[in-house]
Amino acid sequence: MFIVGTIVCLVSLVLCFGAAILKQGPNDLTILSVAAVELFLLVYGVTAVFRQIGGEGVAGPVWEFWGYLFTAMLVPAGAIWWSLMDRSRWSNVVLGAVGITVFVMLFRMEQIWDGVPLA
């Protein structure tokens, strides 16, 4: 799932920053790319629930994993809201930041799941 999430975040990042560089305001493509990141996080969360129900536990702190996931789910929603309120090209920068932010959070969630300590 991590590789799929990385690809979704990267595509969203490129589309949003590309639109910002071209001085375009947020459009359907950039907003939908961030919505795809949100959809991925929902699928990731459902998958994590089924993995835990199936007996595969989180090696790190469970509360930290779910805290990261719930927080990561708020980031795309907030950015989409921002882009609907501010139709300038800078909203695409905010939308693009979702790709970077969610990727970092996804990377940390994978570390927590596998029990890799921060070092």
Per the CB < 8 A criterion, the answer to whether 74 and 1 are in contact is: no
Give the residue from 77, 114, 110, 106 showing the smallest Cα distance to 5. 106
Tokens 């949100």 belong to residue = 38
Predicted local confidence at residue 119, as pLDDT: 60
How far apart, in whole angstroms, are the C-alpha atoms of residue 79 and residue 24? 16
Flag whether pLDDT at 116 surpasses 90.
no
Q: Which tokens belong to 1? A: 């799932």
How far apart, in whole angstroms, are the C-alpha atoms of residue 77 and residue 3? 22
How far apart, in whole angstroms, are the C-alpha atoms of residue 51 and residue 57? 7
Taking the CA of residue 113 as centre, how many other CA atoms within 13 Å lie in the half-sphere pointing to its CB?
20
Q: Which tokens belong to 44? A: 């990731």
State pTM to two decimals: 0.91
pLDDT band at 91 (very low <50, low <70, confident <90, very high): very high
